[in-house]
Amino acid sequence: NAGVTQTPKFQVLKTGQSMTLQCAQDMNHEYMSWYRQDPGMGLRLIHYSVGAGITDQGEVPNGYNVSRSTTEDFPLRLLSAAPSQTSVYFCASRVLHRRQGGYGYTFGSGTRLTVV
């Protein structure tokens, strides 16, 4: 298993440009989510999905769109990039431990985005 794969690792955008951050997992996890990490603010949830065709907003969804057409992929779209979206973005998937209870998250390695 490759786990959670994010591409690209680094990206520089100009204000107003659009782009898609890719996230793929090969563990057949139903739940996937996107976080952004900013200094002193921890990780904040942008959007999440509980399965193919189902998405919902997290804490900081403005300026971002998501879709979930397959279990494996959960892309994050920036429609019109702004300097305030300069951040490190993490994708994560989650597995439920149905027998012993609880769950586990697998994080991607992150995408460092700079908007100039």
Partner 1 sequence: AQSVTQPDIHITVSEGASLELRCNYSYGATPYLFWYVQSPGQGLQLLLKYFSGDTLVQGIKGFEAEFKRSQSSFNLRKPSVHWSDAAEYFCAVGAGGTSYGKLTFGQGTILTVHP
- Positions touching partner 1 (CB under 8 A) are 31, 33, 35, 40-45, 48, 50, 58, 90, 92, 94, 96, 98, 100-105, 107-110
Minimal distance, residue 31 CB to partner 1, in Å: 6
Identify which of residues 2 and 14 has a Cβ nearer to partner 1 in the complex. 2
Cβ atoms of 21 and 5 closer than 8 Å: no
Identify which of residues 16 and 104 has a Cβ nearer to partner 1 in the complex. 104
Minimal distance, residue 3 CB to partner 1, in Å: 10
Minimal distance, residue 101 CB to partner 1, in Å: 5
DSSP the chain: ---EEEE-SEEEE-TT--EEEEEEESS--SEEEEEEEETTTEEEEEEEEEETTEEEE-SS-TTEEE--SSSSB--EEESS--GGG-EEEEEEEEEE-TTT--EEEEE---EEEEE-
Identify which of residues 12 and 96 has a Cβ nearer to partner 1 in the complex. 96
Minimal distance, residue 84 CB to partner 1, in Å: 18
Identify which of residues 85 and 93 has a Cβ nearer to partner 1 in the complex. 93
